[in-house]
Amino acid sequence: MSHLRIPQVGSIVVGMGAAATKADAKAATEHDRRARTLAQAAVFSAVAAVVFLLTVVLLYQGVWLLLTGLAALVVAGVGAWWFVSRRGVPRWIGAAVAVAAPITVIVLYTGDGFWFDSVIVVALWALALACGRSALRIDAARRAAALESVPAPPLRHPVLIMNPKSGGGKVGRFGLVEKAGALGAEVVVLDTSQPQDVEGIARRAVAEGADLLGVAGGDGTQALVASVAAEHDLPFLVISAGTRNHFAMDLGLDRDDPSTCLDALRDGEELRIDLGDLAGRPFVNTASFGAYAQIVQNPEYRDSKSGTMLNELPDLLTGDEGAEALRAEADGDRLPRPQVLLVTNNPYGETETLGGGRRPRLDRGVLGVVAVHVEGSIDAAQLAVLGTSSRSVTVRTAHEVRVDAEAGTIPVAVDGEALNLEPPVVCTIRPGVLRVRVPRDRPGAVPEPVKVDWRTVGALAVGRTGTDPRR
Ligand SMILES: Nc1ncnc2c1ncn2[C@@H]1O[C@H](COP(=O)(O)OP(=O)(O)OP(=O)(O)O)[C@@H](O)[C@H]1O
């Protein structure tokens, strides 16, 4: 992982001398300059791509070329919908159509001598997106680094809970027990041969005088212990020893080498962030309802992820008003019966939605909400063309999300753990309740924009910085 170290502009970083502040200001100007240059390159390439495309279309008098491309996208979207929502022959017809549509367009363009022009347009557009993304990434990273931090007080009795199985054995591989011991921490290694009451272990540690709690393990375990730390206003240490480490990633920690997280014990600073709450249970990343949560409950899921998913999706996507159909409200507003509903501890980047995204901040005091409702082929086609702007997807923030169903229990996946809860299930946010102790020297949260927001790129190109990170 590359460590993009970003100066802390506008943040409360106590204990830095005037020289450091000056150096930071200089580095910040350098980042602004780089962001501006990249944004200008992005705008230039995008304009060039559009002008070139229009010129070719006018020269060839071939508006049909554009229409063919658009039609292929629509047909591919409908094919993909048939693939996930049908079984048997219709499913495979859908798959064939989804693959054949783009191939047909390529063959048509090639046969028409349009392929060379297409390559130029695609290359210019790809360059525009790459430059735009890099510009946004630098800008967003600078903002993410502006999470306010305060110096961390000295520790007397830090207690770390470590799961030797997490991340395929990272605790042993990185010598975390020995390294933590050398830094003066007490380590409790979980006995994974039987289920352990992690929350109980954390509570006992507090009763015995722990002045910091930490976890080397998956995000589900992080959430349970973080909640105990928050309850006692103790600092919490995240050690990125899980498999996915989404929480560590959004805190700007090093995910490649979990032992670097231990540096926070000797040279740390503190951030104050929010925790999600799902019917009284804390979550650090996401609570997921609907199709995904239902599929991961299936015992066959562990053995065959894609097989189970393909088998169950048709019923989940088209089995309309059954007892399991979700009714959901965000701050009192009805969400169209969601097939997939993701509630997140702070929203993912404005342009990011399901999966793969990052949260620019963890201290905004709001939940992120992404709800998907695809009614049929027309919605699927619209989704293929418009993406998250289509009517099938709702992306918003909320302070409370209420999920209900006729069924006796609702399957929920909370930070990757599968649960069944009695409806209604209410999600809220606990603003600023968690003190997180992080190493002062850390990679920093670097949000990856998956979609280029041209308004922000345009603003960066003319020397204005992007959107307010707290928005
Ligand atoms: N409370 C617990 N008691 C006993 N064993 C546990 C407990 N929590 C987790 N385990 C075991 O440890 C394994 C690893 O779990 P954990 O969620 O910590 O890490 P992971 O799955 O590698 O990370 P991620 O959550 O990022 O996928 C689990 O498969 C489970 O067998």
How large is the ipTM?
Answer: 0.94
Q: Taking residues 159-172, what's their average pLDDT?
A: 95
CA-nearest residue, atom 31 of ligand 1: 192
Q: Which two tokens stand for residue 455?
A: 């308004």
Domains of the chain: 7-147+452-463 (no CATH), 154-274+433-439 (3.40.50.10330), 286-430 (2.60.200.40)
For strand 367-372 and strand 340-345, is the pairing parallel, antiparallel, or unpaired?
Answer: antiparallel
Task: Please state the pTM of the whole predicted model.
Answer: 0.72
Separation of 94 CA from ligand 1 center, angstroms? Answer: 38
Separation of 164 CA from ligand 1 center, angstroms? Answer: 9
pLDDT in tens, 351-364: 444 445 678 789 99
Residue 192 Cβ inside 6 Å of ligand 1? The answer reads: yes
pLDDT-derived band at 144 (thresholds 50, 70, 90) equals low
Asked if the model's pLDDT at residue 17 lies above 60, the reply is no
Residue 15 Cβ inside 6 Å of ligand 1? The answer reads: no
Separation of 217 CA from ligand 1 center, angstroms? Answer: 7
Mutate to test the pocket of ligand 1, among 203, 239, 243 (most ligand atoms within 8 A of CB): 243
pLDDT-derived band at 295 (thresholds 50, 70, 90) equals low
Mutate to test the pocket of ligand 1, among 166, 173, 244, 415 (most ligand atoms within 8 A of CB): 166
Rounded Cα distance between 183 and 162, Å, is 15
Number of Cβ within 10 Å of residue 94's Cβ equals 22
- In ligand 1, the atom with minimum distance to the C-alpha of 415 is 25
Residue 217 Cβ inside 6 Å of ligand 1? The answer reads: yes
Question: Cβ contacts of residue 169 below 8 Å, gap of 6+?
Answer: none
Number of Cβ within 10 Å of residue 329's Cβ equals 16
Contact indicator for 395, 388 with CB cutoff of 8 Å: yes
Partners of 461 in the β-ladder: none
Separation of 219 CA from ligand 1 center, angstroms? Answer: 9
pLDDT-derived band at 7 (thresholds 50, 70, 90) equals very low
Partners of 434 in the β-ladder: 273
CA-nearest residue, atom 14 of ligand 1: 166
Residue 383 Cβ inside 6 Å of ligand 1? The answer reads: no
- What does the pLDDT read at residue 375? 76
pLDDT in tens, 269-283: 999 999 999 999 999
> Range with the lowest mean pLDDT among 299-313, 335-349, 375-389?
299-313
Separation of 417 CA from ligand 1 center, angstroms? Answer: 9
- In ligand 1, the atom with minimum distance to the C-alpha of 196 is 3
Distance from chain centroid for Cα 253: 15
Rounded Cα distance between 456 and 465, Å, is 8
Residue 339 Cβ inside 6 Å of ligand 1? The answer reads: no
Residue 258 Cβ inside 6 Å of ligand 1? The answer reads: no
pLDDT-derived band at 459 (thresholds 50, 70, 90) equals confident
Residue 190 Cβ inside 6 Å of ligand 1? The answer reads: yes
Instruction: Give percent of the chain above pLDDT 70.
Output: 76
Residue 415 Cβ inside 6 Å of ligand 1? The answer reads: no
Question: Cβ contacts of residue 329 below 8 Å, gap of 6+?
Answer: 335, 401, 402
Rounded Cα distance between 91 and 179, Å, is 53
Residue 220 Cβ inside 6 Å of ligand 1? The answer reads: yes
Burial class (CB in 10 A: 0-12, 13-18, 19+), 331: middle
pLDDT-derived band at 284 (thresholds 50, 70, 90) equals very high
Contact indicator for 456, 132 with CB cutoff of 8 Å: no
